[in-house]
Structure 1
Amino acid sequence: MAEFRFITIWRIEAPLSQVSDAIFSCHEWPLWWKNVEKVDEINPGDPDGIGGLWRFTWKGQLPYRLTFDICVVRAEPLKLLEGLASGELEGVGCWHFYYEAPATIVRYEWHVRTTRGWMNLLAPVAKPLFAWNHNQVMRQGAEGLALRLNTRLLGLTHC
Protein backbone atom coordinates (compact mmCIF):
# COMPACT_ATOMS: atom_id res chain seq x y z
CA MET A 1 0.00 0.00 0.00
CA ALA A 2 1.12 3.52 -0.76
CA GLU A 3 1.24 5.78 2.28
CA PHE A 4 0.56 9.52 2.34
CA ARG A 5 0.91 12.16 5.05
CA PHE A 6 -0.58 15.58 4.41
CA ILE A 7 -0.98 18.67 6.57
CA THR A 8 -3.11 21.52 5.27
CA ILE A 9 -3.70 24.82 7.06
CA TRP A 10 -6.55 27.17 6.23
CA ARG A 11 -6.80 30.73 7.58
CA ILE A 12 -10.41 31.87 7.28
CA GLU A 13 -11.64 35.29 8.36
CA ALA A 14 -14.64 34.00 10.33
CA PRO A 15 -15.57 33.18 13.92
CA LEU A 16 -14.24 29.90 15.27
CA SER A 17 -17.77 28.63 15.92
CA GLN A 18 -18.87 29.11 12.30
CA VAL A 19 -15.83 27.35 10.87
CA SER A 20 -15.96 24.50 13.36
CA ASP A 21 -19.72 24.03 12.84
CA ALA A 22 -19.25 23.85 9.06
CA ILE A 23 -16.62 21.12 9.36
CA PHE A 24 -18.59 19.18 11.98
CA SER A 25 -21.64 19.28 9.64
CA CYS A 26 -20.03 16.98 7.08
CA HIS A 27 -23.41 16.02 5.60
CA GLU A 28 -23.53 19.59 4.21
CA TRP A 29 -20.07 19.50 2.60
CA PRO A 30 -21.45 18.76 -0.89
CA LEU A 31 -23.24 22.14 -0.72
CA TRP A 32 -19.97 24.09 -0.56
CA TRP A 33 -17.08 21.70 -1.28
CA LYS A 34 -17.33 20.85 -4.96
CA ASN A 35 -15.07 17.79 -4.69
CA VAL A 36 -17.42 16.07 -2.25
CA GLU A 37 -19.91 14.30 -4.47
CA LYS A 38 -21.81 12.46 -1.77
CA VAL A 39 -21.97 11.99 2.01
CA ASP A 40 -24.14 9.26 3.51
CA GLU A 41 -24.72 8.79 7.21
CA ILE A 42 -24.36 5.09 8.03
CA ASN A 43 -24.59 5.44 11.83
CA PRO A 44 -25.19 8.66 13.81
CA GLY A 45 -23.03 7.62 16.77
CA ASP A 46 -23.63 8.78 20.33
CA PRO A 47 -25.04 12.23 21.24
CA ASP A 48 -21.54 13.74 20.80
CA GLY A 49 -21.10 12.05 17.41
CA ILE A 50 -18.55 9.53 18.65
CA GLY A 51 -18.94 6.31 16.69
CA GLY A 52 -20.69 8.16 13.89
CA LEU A 53 -19.98 6.49 10.56
CA TRP A 54 -20.07 8.46 7.31
CA ARG A 55 -19.46 7.33 3.72
CA PHE A 56 -17.81 9.92 1.46
CA THR A 57 -17.38 9.94 -2.31
CA TRP A 58 -14.74 12.39 -3.56
CA LYS A 59 -13.72 13.54 -7.03
CA GLY A 60 -10.58 15.61 -7.45
CA GLN A 61 -8.87 17.02 -10.53
CA LEU A 62 -7.59 13.63 -11.69
CA PRO A 63 -10.01 11.23 -13.47
CA TYR A 64 -10.90 8.95 -10.57
CA ARG A 65 -13.19 8.89 -7.55
CA LEU A 66 -12.52 7.63 -4.04
CA THR A 67 -15.15 6.27 -1.68
CA PHE A 68 -14.31 5.58 1.93
CA ASP A 69 -15.92 5.56 5.35
CA ILE A 70 -14.96 7.75 8.29
CA CYS A 71 -15.76 6.66 11.84
CA VAL A 72 -15.62 9.53 14.32
CA VAL A 73 -13.35 8.64 17.24
CA ARG A 74 -12.88 12.09 18.86
CA ALA A 75 -15.08 15.17 18.70
CA GLU A 76 -14.50 18.32 20.72
CA PRO A 77 -16.52 21.23 19.29
CA LEU A 78 -14.39 24.31 18.63
CA LYS A 79 -11.22 22.20 19.09
CA LEU A 80 -10.94 19.02 17.04
CA LEU A 81 -12.64 16.32 15.03
CA GLU A 82 -10.87 13.02 14.37
CA GLY A 83 -11.91 10.01 12.35
CA LEU A 84 -10.63 6.66 11.14
CA ALA A 85 -10.87 5.98 7.42
CA SER A 86 -11.61 2.59 5.87
CA GLY A 87 -12.37 1.52 2.33
CA GLU A 88 -10.41 2.81 -0.66
CA LEU A 89 -8.30 4.79 1.81
CA GLU A 90 -7.34 3.62 5.30
CA GLY A 91 -5.90 5.73 8.06
CA VAL A 92 -6.70 8.73 10.21
CA GLY A 93 -7.78 12.31 9.61
CA CYS A 94 -7.88 15.04 12.24
CA TRP A 95 -9.22 18.59 12.04
CA HIS A 96 -7.83 21.07 14.60
CA PHE A 97 -9.39 24.52 15.15
CA TYR A 98 -8.20 27.63 16.94
CA TYR A 99 -8.65 31.36 16.66
CA GLU A 100 -5.81 33.77 15.95
CA ALA A 101 -7.24 37.24 15.17
CA PRO A 102 -8.49 37.99 12.62
CA ALA A 103 -8.81 34.38 11.44
CA THR A 104 -9.86 30.93 12.47
CA ILE A 105 -7.03 28.52 11.81
CA VAL A 106 -7.97 25.06 10.56
CA ARG A 107 -5.20 22.46 10.54
CA TYR A 108 -6.04 19.20 8.81
CA GLU A 109 -3.77 16.18 9.21
CA TRP A 110 -4.42 13.25 6.89
CA HIS A 111 -2.34 10.07 7.21
CA VAL A 112 -3.67 7.38 4.89
CA ARG A 113 -2.79 4.36 2.79
CA THR A 114 -4.37 3.49 -0.53
CA THR A 115 -6.10 0.12 -0.93
CA ARG A 116 -6.90 0.28 -4.64
CA GLY A 117 -4.56 -1.96 -6.62
CA TRP A 118 -4.01 0.44 -9.52
CA MET A 119 -3.11 3.28 -7.13
CA ASN A 120 -0.60 1.12 -5.29
CA LEU A 121 0.88 -0.04 -8.59
CA LEU A 122 1.26 3.52 -9.90
CA ALA A 123 2.24 5.13 -6.59
CA PRO A 124 6.02 4.92 -7.10
CA VAL A 125 5.74 7.27 -10.10
CA ALA A 126 2.34 8.92 -9.53
CA LYS A 127 2.74 9.88 -5.86
CA PRO A 128 3.47 13.54 -6.73
CA LEU A 129 0.28 13.64 -8.85
CA PHE A 130 -1.78 12.12 -6.04
CA ALA A 131 -0.34 14.74 -3.65
CA TRP A 132 -1.11 17.53 -6.12
CA ASN A 133 -4.67 16.21 -6.45
CA HIS A 134 -5.10 16.18 -2.66
CA ASN A 135 -3.79 19.74 -2.42
CA GLN A 136 -6.23 20.91 -5.11
CA VAL A 137 -9.13 19.28 -3.26
CA MET A 138 -8.09 21.02 -0.04
CA ARG A 139 -7.69 24.37 -1.82
CA GLN A 140 -11.18 24.07 -3.26
CA GLY A 141 -12.51 23.15 0.18
CA ALA A 142 -10.98 26.26 1.73
CA GLU A 143 -12.34 28.47 -1.05
CA GLY A 144 -15.77 26.85 -0.83
CA LEU A 145 -15.95 27.27 2.93
CA ALA A 146 -14.97 30.94 2.71
CA LEU A 147 -17.68 31.47 0.10
CA ARG A 148 -20.22 29.55 2.22
CA LEU A 149 -19.43 31.77 5.22
CA ASN A 150 -19.41 34.91 3.05
CA THR A 151 -15.89 35.79 4.10
CA ARG A 152 -12.29 35.71 2.92
CA LEU A 153 -9.74 32.95 2.80
CA LEU A 154 -6.66 34.67 4.24
CA GLY A 155 -4.19 31.86 3.71
CA LEU A 156 -3.66 28.28 2.65
CA THR A 157 -0.56 26.19 3.36
CA HIS A 158 0.30 22.63 2.40
CA CYS A 159 3.03 20.98 4.47
Structure 2
Amino acid sequence: MGANEYCMPTEWRIKGDIREVYDVCSNFKDYQRWWPDVYLDIQTAGTDRETGNEVYAILSKGKLPYKLRWRSCKTAENAPYSLSLKASGDLAGHGTWKFEQDGEYVNVRFDWYVNAERLLLKLLSPVLKPIFRSNHYWAMEKGLESLERELIRRRGAAAG
Protein backbone atom coordinates (compact mmCIF):
# COMPACT_ATOMS: atom_id res chain seq x y z
CA MET A 1 0.00 0.00 0.00
CA GLY A 2 1.35 3.40 -0.98
CA ALA A 3 1.98 6.09 1.58
CA ASN A 4 -1.05 8.09 0.42
CA GLU A 5 -3.39 5.04 0.16
CA TYR A 6 -5.93 4.47 2.89
CA CYS A 7 -8.18 1.53 3.69
CA MET A 8 -10.49 2.57 6.52
CA PRO A 9 -13.36 0.30 7.56
CA THR A 10 -15.96 1.60 9.99
CA GLU A 11 -18.66 -0.35 11.80
CA TRP A 12 -21.73 1.15 13.41
CA ARG A 13 -24.52 -0.57 15.35
CA ILE A 14 -27.64 1.53 15.62
CA LYS A 15 -31.12 0.89 16.89
CA GLY A 16 -33.56 1.08 14.03
CA ASP A 17 -34.97 -0.38 10.87
CA ILE A 18 -32.70 -1.19 7.95
CA ARG A 19 -34.85 0.83 5.52
CA GLU A 20 -34.80 4.01 7.62
CA VAL A 21 -31.03 3.78 8.17
CA TYR A 22 -30.43 3.05 4.49
CA ASP A 23 -32.64 5.95 3.43
CA VAL A 24 -30.58 8.40 5.49
CA CYS A 25 -27.17 7.05 4.46
CA SER A 26 -28.03 6.73 0.77
CA ASN A 27 -29.14 10.36 0.36
CA PHE A 28 -25.76 12.04 -0.18
CA LYS A 29 -27.26 15.48 -0.82
CA ASP A 30 -28.73 15.53 2.71
CA TYR A 31 -25.45 14.77 4.53
CA GLN A 32 -24.74 18.47 4.92
CA ARG A 33 -27.93 18.90 6.97
CA TRP A 34 -27.70 15.89 9.30
CA TRP A 35 -23.87 15.42 9.45
CA PRO A 36 -22.80 19.07 9.70
CA ASP A 37 -19.61 18.51 11.69
CA VAL A 38 -18.08 16.94 8.57
CA TYR A 39 -20.06 17.93 5.48
CA LEU A 40 -19.85 21.69 5.00
CA ASP A 41 -21.30 21.96 1.50
CA ILE A 42 -22.76 19.55 -1.04
CA GLN A 43 -23.91 20.67 -4.46
CA THR A 44 -25.16 18.72 -7.43
CA ALA A 45 -22.49 18.76 -10.13
CA GLY A 46 -23.93 17.03 -13.17
CA THR A 47 -24.17 13.41 -14.22
CA ASP A 48 -21.44 10.78 -14.15
CA ARG A 49 -20.60 9.52 -17.66
CA GLU A 50 -19.93 5.94 -16.54
CA THR A 51 -22.93 5.37 -14.28
CA GLY A 52 -25.44 8.00 -15.35
CA ASN A 53 -25.87 8.87 -11.66
CA GLU A 54 -25.92 12.30 -10.06
CA VAL A 55 -22.48 13.67 -9.10
CA TYR A 56 -22.05 15.72 -5.94
CA ALA A 57 -19.36 18.32 -5.32
CA ILE A 58 -18.45 18.03 -1.65
CA LEU A 59 -16.60 20.25 0.80
CA SER A 60 -15.82 18.31 3.97
CA LYS A 61 -13.60 18.49 7.01
CA GLY A 62 -12.50 16.49 10.00
CA LYS A 63 -11.09 17.51 13.34
CA LEU A 64 -7.82 18.66 11.79
CA PRO A 65 -7.67 22.22 10.38
CA TYR A 66 -8.01 21.48 6.67
CA LYS A 67 -10.89 21.00 4.25
CA LEU A 68 -11.25 18.54 1.40
CA ARG A 69 -12.88 19.19 -1.97
CA TRP A 70 -14.02 16.10 -3.78
CA ARG A 71 -16.75 14.66 -5.96
CA SER A 72 -18.78 11.54 -5.40
CA CYS A 73 -21.50 9.51 -7.03
CA LYS A 74 -23.20 6.18 -6.54
CA THR A 75 -21.80 3.31 -8.58
CA ALA A 76 -24.05 0.47 -7.38
CA GLU A 77 -27.13 0.20 -5.21
CA ASN A 78 -28.94 -2.77 -3.71
CA ALA A 79 -31.46 -1.09 -1.42
CA PRO A 80 -31.61 -1.45 1.53
CA TYR A 81 -28.57 -3.74 1.81
CA SER A 82 -25.66 -2.01 0.10
CA LEU A 83 -24.52 1.09 -1.69
CA SER A 84 -21.23 1.74 -3.46
CA LEU A 85 -19.72 5.06 -4.47
CA LYS A 86 -16.66 6.51 -6.09
CA ALA A 87 -14.69 9.60 -5.19
CA SER A 88 -12.39 11.95 -7.09
CA GLY A 89 -10.55 15.13 -6.19
CA ASP A 90 -8.71 15.57 -2.88
CA LEU A 91 -9.86 12.01 -2.11
CA ALA A 92 -9.87 9.50 -4.96
CA GLY A 93 -11.14 5.95 -4.69
CA HIS A 94 -14.28 4.11 -3.69
CA GLY A 95 -16.42 3.11 -0.75
CA THR A 96 -19.17 0.68 0.09
CA TRP A 97 -21.92 0.92 2.68
CA LYS A 98 -23.43 -2.38 3.87
CA PHE A 99 -26.55 -2.68 6.05
CA GLU A 100 -27.82 -5.72 7.93
CA GLN A 101 -30.86 -5.96 10.19
CA ASP A 102 -30.02 -7.70 13.48
CA GLY A 103 -33.11 -7.77 15.67
CA GLU A 104 -33.95 -4.21 16.63
CA TYR A 105 -30.53 -2.98 15.48
CA VAL A 106 -28.90 -2.32 12.14
CA ASN A 107 -25.27 -3.24 11.65
CA VAL A 108 -23.66 -0.77 9.28
CA ARG A 109 -20.25 -1.17 7.72
CA PHE A 110 -18.50 1.41 5.56
CA ASP A 111 -15.34 0.37 3.75
CA TRP A 112 -13.44 3.40 2.42
CA TYR A 113 -10.52 2.88 0.03
CA VAL A 114 -9.05 6.21 -1.01
CA ASN A 115 -5.87 7.91 -2.01
CA ALA A 116 -5.12 11.29 -0.51
CA GLU A 117 -4.59 13.36 -3.66
CA ARG A 118 -4.52 16.83 -2.13
CA LEU A 119 -0.85 17.77 -2.49
CA LEU A 120 -0.18 18.58 1.17
CA LEU A 121 -1.84 15.37 2.39
CA LYS A 122 -0.09 13.33 -0.27
CA LEU A 123 3.30 14.73 0.73
CA LEU A 124 2.70 14.36 4.48
CA SER A 125 1.06 10.91 4.38
CA PRO A 126 4.35 9.00 4.79
CA VAL A 127 4.83 10.65 8.18
CA LEU A 128 1.34 11.65 9.31
CA LYS A 129 -0.75 8.73 8.04
CA PRO A 130 -1.82 7.64 11.57
CA ILE A 131 -3.03 11.18 12.30
CA PHE A 132 -4.93 11.41 8.99
CA ARG A 133 -6.55 8.02 9.68
CA SER A 134 -7.52 9.21 13.15
CA ASN A 135 -9.10 12.28 11.55
CA HIS A 136 -11.24 10.01 9.36
CA TYR A 137 -12.38 7.95 12.34
CA TRP A 138 -13.26 11.12 14.24
CA ALA A 139 -15.45 12.12 11.27
CA MET A 140 -17.12 8.70 11.25
CA GLU A 141 -17.75 8.91 15.01
CA LYS A 142 -19.49 12.23 14.39
CA GLY A 143 -21.45 10.47 11.63
CA LEU A 144 -22.81 7.86 14.02
CA GLU A 145 -23.80 10.54 16.55
CA SER A 146 -25.45 12.56 13.78
CA LEU A 147 -27.26 9.52 12.36
CA GLU A 148 -28.70 8.72 15.78
CA ARG A 149 -30.00 12.31 16.08
CA GLU A 150 -31.40 12.20 12.54
CA LEU A 151 -33.32 8.99 13.19
CA ILE A 152 -34.82 10.49 16.36
CA ARG A 153 -35.77 13.62 14.40
CA ARG A 154 -37.42 11.58 11.63
CA ARG A 155 -39.35 9.42 14.07
CA GLY A 156 -40.59 12.54 15.88
CA ALA A 157 -41.67 14.13 12.61
CA ALA A 158 -43.51 10.94 11.60
CA ALA A 159 -45.26 10.73 14.98
CA GLY A 160 -46.19 14.41 15.06
| CA shift for structure 1 position 43 | 2.9
Q: 1:35 aligns with which of 13, 34, 38?
A: 38
> Which residue matches 1:26?
28
Asked if the contact 1:37/1:58 (under 8 Å) is kept, the reply is yes
Aligned residues: 148
Greater share of residues in helix: 2
Match of 1:133 in 2: 135
Question: C-alpha offsets along residues 3-62 of structure 1, whole Å, 9 cap, x if unaligned?
Answer: 0001001101011111000011111111111211011112367xxx85221111111100
Q: Distance in 2 between matches of 1:82 and 1:110?
A: 10
The structure 1 residue matched to 2:82, chosen from 59, 80, 83, is 80
Letter in 2 for 1:38: D
Separation (CA, whole Å) in 2 of partners of 1:72 and 1:25: 10
Q: How many Å separate the matches in 2 of 1:125 and 1:66?
A: 19
Cα offset, 1:65, TM superposition: 0.4
Q: Percent identity?
A: 30
Q: Where in structure 2 are there 5+ consecutive unaligned residues? A: 154-160
CA RMSD of aligned residues (A): 1.6
Match of 1:56 in 2: 58
Structure with bigger RCO (C-alpha 8 Å, 6+ apart): 1
Q: What's the TM-score once normalised by structure 1's chain length?
A: 0.87
Report the 3-state secondary structure (helix = DSSP H, G, I; strand = E; otherwise coil) of the residue aligned with 1:149: helix
Which digits, 9 at most, give the CA deviation of each residue in 1:124-155, with x for residues without a partner?
1110110100000000000000011119xxxx
Please tell me the residue identity of whatever aligns with 1:120.
K
TM-score by length of structure 2 reads 0.87
Deviates more, 1:141-150 or 1:27-36: 27-36
2:158 maps to which residue? none
For structure 1, list consecutive stretches of 5 or more residues without a partner in the other structure.
Answer: 152-159
Distance 1:78 1:135 in 2: 24
In structure 2, distance between residues paired with 1:14 and 1:86: 32
